[in-house]
Structure 1
Amino acid sequence: MSQSAGSQSTGHDRTGIDSMGMAAATVALPAQLEAALVAAEEVVGPAGSEPITNVVVLGMGGSGVAGDVISALAAPQMRVPVTVVKGYECPAFVGPHTLAIAVSFSGNTEETLETAAAAHDARASVVAVTSGGRLAELARHWGAPLYEVDGSIPMPRAAVGAISVAPLVALERAGLLSGVAGWVGATVAQLCARQDSTGAEVDSLDEIVSAIGNGEMLPVFYGGGALGVVAAGRAKAQINENAKIPAYASAMPELCHNELAGWDLAGRLIDGSPLAVIALRHDFEHPQIRRRYDFTRRVLDGARVAVPYAELRAGGDGAMAQLFDLIYQVDVLSLRIAAAARRDPGPIPLLTELKTYLASDDI
């Protein structure tokens, strides 16, 4: 069963539980991308005196996805390697020939602040992408290029367009990339086309959505190649944060070397499958990955308890358009699951509690 997420409605209006306007922010993604491009093009830099031989993207959570986007879209077009850093440690290779792009929507993410400071101390060329906070203060103090993100966006995960466009423009300004405006234009066109669709196809996922929302089943997202892997990771995180439900993500072809072997005994006959696989497909898959999906589908259908399988397929002209088309679709899906679970997709109280704990003196 192949599905596409149209968006006359994200589905969250079915319950009205959306205190922060996450559904509206999702629908506004095309406009967000356009506005981010305009804002980023007004920023000067980076323009360091040393040649750039490597790039690191520093970020966590909803902001850190920018690093994944850069790795999938920009890295294959660039002559220098890209490393995504999600943690407290700055790689030892970072130095005067490094372009370090620090991404934190709030500007106060402790891991990102620590790695950005370490990169600056190592004499890297630092670029900041943020709506404010301590990161903005540091960028101004360092004289580093500051790409400001719209702070009215309700949550970092809803700012995926803004936090992804700015680093792409920064790479272009550094002479490492070209054609970003065209990429964004094609992406906006595809998202608008997706939003103009009827939404009938995604409605056929209602049975899986209901089962996940009711706690009867958990989703496993499969993505192949660079674009699919980013989309699968995004899907997992969106289900976690929007619906407050566990979810899992795996990558093709790696899963065919291990995880696939575990499906034959999935679940008990009396219970049915506790999992559903949702594959995120695109036109840039290696031909052998397509064959691996076909084989995996047969395994799932033939398991002791057949595992539900569905696909979301990307459209659009170019890699960025197809990646963001998948991102949009899984965002819509996560909101529908949140609605089925009757969860407000905005607040994340447990993660807020963790930040408060980490900032305290408790041991």
Structure 2
Amino acid sequence: MDIEKIDSSNMLNQIKSLPNQIKESIEIINEYKFKIKDFKNINSVLIVGMGGSAIGGDIVNSIISDCSQIPFQVIRDYNLPNWVNENTLVICVSYSGNTEETLSCFDEAINRKSLIVGITSGGILQKKLNSYNLDSILIPKDKPPRACIGYISILILLVLEKNNIVNISSEKYLFDTSSKLENLTNTFAKAENSNPTFGLAKKIYKTIPIIYGDFRYTSSIALRWRGQIEENSKMISFHNSIPEMNHNEIVGYENNNDFFDKLSIIWLKDKKINIRNLLRQKFSSDILSESISKQFEIESHGESLIERIFYLIYWGDWLSFWLAIFHKTNPSPVRKIEKLKKKLAR
């Protein structure tokens, strides 16, 4: 297969850039001087974004799940929750700076006198932030938003850490993570069966992948995998979490079983999973094996939770790339999204 011809927009290099994005994000935040001087009254955090700009908030929610002392939520909508007020830190994330849902929430946050930090590469959001003399953390331009997961997630994390909103010291773990991902690149970038991301792609590229994580640590990664498979691979995909799927979705694998041979299931696992959820994953897989033959487990690797989470993110990004290659599909264009935007702009 002619990978360079298929990947004519060079998504391969975008995926390879994740380890460097982590290091660059540390540099960006260490050099940044916050305009907000006092975060001590913050009693809730809200991340506002869509698509590739929102998923970073979900990833951070997994990272801080064991240390956050205040509510943390990600919303993907035009309006803020009613509880948002002057003691809420609203982090508006829009890679382009022109995401209409995020801009709508920004205006509401201004009206509610919330503390606001923006993460963007420019656009209207940057202009609005500057006009109100608010914090605007800039990331490099001219990338697909979904390929900026390193910048977006790490900068959100470091905004919280540097201003003592969460009790975490992540810099060492982030450098270790970057180094480990760089070492994985040589393996994950090979079009060989010895590369596990390539091997799994070969097995499931003609299926509809369903990804399951546990609610606390890997459900955000399951969402990331689903989004990457949909945007990069141009394949429909679904995700859910344990234990929730045990209370509804597991029953759905009964009727319309003529379609089951077109489904594959991927179970994401981390060693911090609650023991009951670990049992639920095992027993659910056993039960569903009566209907779904293509089931796969992908386990995180690394000493720290940060390292393990980004290991799985990197794994999924490469999987989505190889799925696209097997379909002889350029991973970069998102034509249906662009078509929809044009219709909305009329």
Which TM-score applies when normalising by structure 2? Answer: 0.92
- The separation in 1 between residues aligned to 2:154 and 2:304, in whole angstroms, is 15
- The separation in 1 between residues aligned to 2:201 and 2:160, in whole angstroms, is 41
DSSP 3-state at the match of 1:243: coil
The answer to whether 1:190 aligns with 2:185 is no
Match in the other structure for 1:164:
153
Whether the 8 Å CA contact 1:43–1:145 is kept in 2: the answer is no
User: C-alpha deviations, 1:171-214, integer Å up to 9, x for none?
Assistant: 12321123131231232133123225474333432542342xxx
Q: Quote how far apart the aligned CAs of 1:157 are.
A: 0.1
2:169 maps to which of 170, 179, 186 = 179
User: C-alpha deviations, 1:256-314, integer Å up to 9, x for none?
Assistant: 1111122245623xx761200011111121111111121122112223xx431012221
- The separation in 2 between residues aligned to 1:141 and 1:87, in whole angstroms, is 23
Whether the 8 Å CA contact 1:209–1:340 is kept in 2: the answer is no
- 1:59-208 paired onto structure 2 within 5 Å: 59-152=49-142, 154-177=143-166, 178-197=168-187, 199-208=194-203
Whether the 8 Å CA contact 2:212–2:241 is kept in 1: the answer is yes
User: C-alpha deviations, 1:63-102, integer Å up to 9, x for none?
Assistant: 0102212221125312211121110011122121111100
Output the amino acid matched with 1:17. Answer: I
Q: Quote how far apart the aligned CAs of 1:117 are.
A: 1.6
Whether the 8 Å CA contact 1:32–1:162 is kept in 2: the answer is yes
The answer to whether 1:287 aligns with 2:282 is no
Match in the other structure for 1:302:
290
Output the amino acid matched with 1:340. Answer: F
* Residue range with higher mean Cα deviation, 117-126 or 68-77: 68-77
Match in the other structure for 2:191:
none
1:248 maps to which of 213, 238, 258 = 238
Percent sequence identity over matched residues?
27
Q: Quote how far apart the aligned CAs of 1:48 are.
A: 3.5
Gaps of 5+ in 2: 189-193
Which TM-score applies when normalising by structure 1? Answer: 0.88
- The separation in 1 between residues aligned to 2:272 and 2:332, in whole angstroms, is 33
Whether the 8 Å CA contact 1:263–1:299 is kept in 2: the answer is no
Whether the 8 Å CA contact 1:264–1:299 is kept in 2: the answer is no
1:341 maps to which of 313, 317, 327 = 327
User: C-alpha deviations, 1:21-63, integer Å up to 9, x for none?
Assistant: 2111111110111011101221122424761111110000000
Output the amino acid matched with 1:205. Answer: L
- The separation in 2 between residues aligned to 1:329 and 1:206, in whole angstroms, is 11
The answer to whether 1:44 aligns with 2:39 is no
Q: How many residues align?
A: 339
Q: Quote how far apart the aligned CAs of 1:254 are.
A: 0.7
Distance 1:75 1:281, change over 3 A: closer
Output the amino acid matched with 1:307. Answer: S
2:316 maps to which of 330, 333, 338 = 330
